[in-house]
Amino acid sequence: MSEQTKQTEGPRVGVLALQGDVREHAAVLTALGATVVPVRRAAELAQIQALVIPGGESTTMDKLLRAFGLRDAVIAAIDGGLPVLGSCAGMVLLARNIEGGIEGQQTLGGIPMTVRRNAFGRQVDSSEVALEWKPDGSQMHATFIRAPWVEAYDADVEVLATLAGAGDDEAHAVAVRYGKRIATAFHPEISGDHRVHQLLLDLI
């Protein structure tokens, strides 16, 4: 790698490229100046400075993580301090516990929280809403697709945004941060608002 390439290359951010919204996350990260690395093998984790676990289907992603021999390596990287963002299915994978999961479904356990899978309903219940983004008090446009919510979390988990479920008045956490680990129930990669991804880059 030339000196010129070293100077112009942005932070190297991996996107778990087994299933889900890989291209959409890559496009946002590229727009923010990052160099995107598709992650399909454990060795690729050593090349990155942060990781995105995209939305998709959490049970399928869990199976593929194990099939590709990636699960233990991703857990070790996160435990070792690698900044990580999980959106929608990625939030489910980062949870310590799942409500509504299928038999045998496993998580990466990066955030001490319990997530309810498909809490906001099925595909037909997808919605676009304006949330309060608590770090700066401004509004954030958010897209929910078969979205989870956080059912419970430890005291040291920071809530970044909440949303009430259909038919109830209880505000459920839909974006959280735990150290260098961020998770959103919504899809920040398709909203046009890049603040979630910028928060990940700021953790590098």
How far is Cα 158 from Cα 177, in angstroms, rounded to an integer? 5
Among candidate residues 25, 151, 172, 187, the one labeled active-site is: 187
Q: Give bridge partners of residue 133 from the DSSP assignment.
A: 138
Buried b (16+ CB within 10 A) or exposed e, 151-189: bebeeebeebbbbeeeeeeeebbbbbbbebbbbbbbbbb
How far is residue 7 from each of residues 1, 11, 12, 180, 189, measured CA to CA in Å?
A: 10, 11, 13, 25, 27
Q: What is the CA radius of gyration of the chain?
A: 16
The structure tokens listed for 32 are 């923010």
Residue 132 designated active-site:
no
Q: Which of 25, 172, 189, 197 is catalytic?
A: 189
Q: Is 170 a catalytic residue?
A: no
25 an active-site residue? no
Catalytic residue among 25, 88, 151, 197: 88
Q: Give the catalytic positions in this structure.
A: 88, 187, 189
